[in-house]
Amino acid sequence: MQRCDRCSEDAVYLRRYSGQRMCSEHFLNYFEEKVVKTIKKEKMLQRGDKVGVGVSGGKDSLTTLHMLKNLQEDLDLEVHAIAVDEGVKGYRADTLGAAKNFCSREKIPLHVVSFKAGLGFTLDEVHKKRSPCAYCGVFRRKLLNETGIKLGLDKLATGHNLDDEVQAIMMNYISGDVERIARYGSGDGKGGFVKRIKPLAEMPEKEVALYALLWDLGASFAECPYAGGTLRSKVRDWINALEKDHPGIKFSILAGSRKMQPLLRNAASKELKKCEKCGAPSSGSVCKACLLLEEINLKGNETLI
Amino acid sequence: MSVFGLVPVRVEVVQEGSRKSLRLRKGDRIDDLLEKLGINRETVLVRLNNKVCVEEEILREGDKVEIIKAISGG
Ligand code: SF4
Ligand SMILES: [Zn+2]
Ligand SMILES: [Zn+2]
């Protein structure tokens, strides 16, 4: 068996972009130290923060929750979990089950909000007009944010990993969305948005999966039935193909985008306005969620949790 | 023994609930197996005989290789 570079245990991971081989203990140490470093560097948390974690029950959100739970005592945090049930048959039940098990095991309060209760329809019911993904993220963000405000959260953490970040960056390039590129990840937090943090933003997805597996977090590996064949999934495959031959390219894409952002911010200095309908921050006079709701023909200013 | 004098190595591959027996060349690594299956190693974790391992491990007769998807959609 291949050995860890730092001790004589069997290696569980080869970090190709640095050439290091790590045993399970050294991998877990490395992972946790790096996440904590990212949190500090980006000033994601303050002592005494009330933090909500958007959980799906997958490896990314449970790893985020696990990390924040570990930091709870040190930073005097109050940690809550929020799960959004979009109502996707044969998928969410599985992932929500994983979230519920984890939260009850770790004694973390879990708040479940559903599309059905909050918006009046499930994603399965509404996806006829557009692709389901066109609604999913927008409404999920809306419900998470509204729940965050109701709970009085200081921060809202999500499980976005390096791969998610890099995919989003490339998607924004592809659609030429300069404003989005300029604003991406700048962590809003003003007028109507709970400040968002992404503690795993610098962790490759494969490392998150390994962390969740080694800790046995009980994450669900169920896939959303709508995920296949989307542009995003093709971008994902393409980036992974590049990463295989050029280890570290995901980090270069992230770093490159961060370098460009300040320049783009000047060029795309559109101020965020308040949505006329719901008051959420928006680049237009009506926010994306309200536009979609209008299209679906439902009242969008009421949300139950 | 094959015409080229190579002794094949037989391994058991478990992937998303299905299992199959595959013949590899002597000296093939997990890397090579993934390549043959058309799987990008960046997207999976591998357990060799029930232990997570690196893709450089050389496969031996009778090994059990479990391929776990590391990336998720949605
Ligand atoms: S793939 Fe599924 S979970 Fe992801 S955005 Fe689309 S509908 Fe939502
Ligand atoms: Zn070690
Ligand atoms: Zn609105």
**Averaged pLDDT, groups of 10, chain B, 74 residues long:** 66 93 95 96 97 97 96 67
Nearest CA in chain A to B16: A221
- Nearest Cα to A161, choosing from A206, A221, A214? A206
pLDDT in tens, A117-142: 988 889 888 866 678 888 898 999 99
Predicted confidence band of residue A189 (pLDDT cuts 50, 70, 90)? low
Interchain contact, B56 vs A2, CB within 8 Å: yes
Name the band, by pLDDT with cuts 50, 70 and 90, for residue A273: confident
Contacts of A163 in chain B (CB under 8 A): 71
B72 token code pair? 């998720």
| pLDDT score at A197 | 96
What pLDDT, on the 0 to 100 scale, is given for residue A131? 81
**Contact B73/A224, CB-based, under 8 Å?**
yes
A209–B70 CB contact, under 8 Å: yes
**DSSP letters for A92-138:** HHHHHHHHHHHHHHHT--EEEEEHHHHHSS-HHHHTTSS-HHHHHHH
Ligand 1 surroundings by CB, under 6 angstroms: A 132-133, 136-137, 224, 226-227; B 73-74
Of A85-99, A171-185, A211-225, least confident by mean pLDDT is A171-185
Give yes or no for A140 touching B (CB within 8 A).
no
Domains of chain A, CATH where assigned:
1-41 (no CATH), 43-270 (3.40.50.620)
Domain extents in chain B: 3-69
The whole-number pLDDT of residue A82 equals 98
What amino acid is encoded at A249 in this protein? Answer: I
A185 in contact with chain B, both atoms CB, cutoff 8 A: no
pLDDT score at B74? 47
pLDDT of A11 > 50? The answer is: yes
For residues A26 and A4, give the distance between their C-alpha atoms in angstroms, rounded to a whole number.
Answer: 8
Mean pLDDT on A164-184: 87
* Structure tokens that stand for B27 in this block: 């000296």
Q: Which CATH architecture has domain B3-69?
A: Roll (3.10)
Q: Please give the pLDDT value at position A299.
A: 47
Q: Taking residues A215-226, what's their average pLDDT? A: 89
| A58 in B contact zone (CB under 8 Å) | yes
Average pLDDT (A209-222) is: 94
Average pLDDT, chain A: 90
Above 90 in pLDDT, residue A212? Answer: yes
Predicted confidence at residue B40, as pLDDT, reads 97
Alpha-carbon distance of A45 to A96, in angstroms, equals: 26
Sign, CA dihedral A65-A66-A67-A70, equals positive
Complex confidence, ipTM: 0.91
Instruction: Answer for the pair A82, A109: CB distance below 8 angstroms, yes or no.
Output: no
Q: By alpha-carbon position, which residue is closest to atom 5 of ligand 1? A: A133
Give pLDDT, residue B4.
Answer: 53
pTM: 0.91
Q: What is the pLDDT of residue A145?
A: 93
Whole-number pLDDT of residue A91 = 87
A133-159 average pLDDT score = 94
User: Among residues A67, A2, A58, which one has the least CA distance to residue A15?
Assistant: A2
Residue B14 CA, ligand 1 centroid: distance in Å = 27
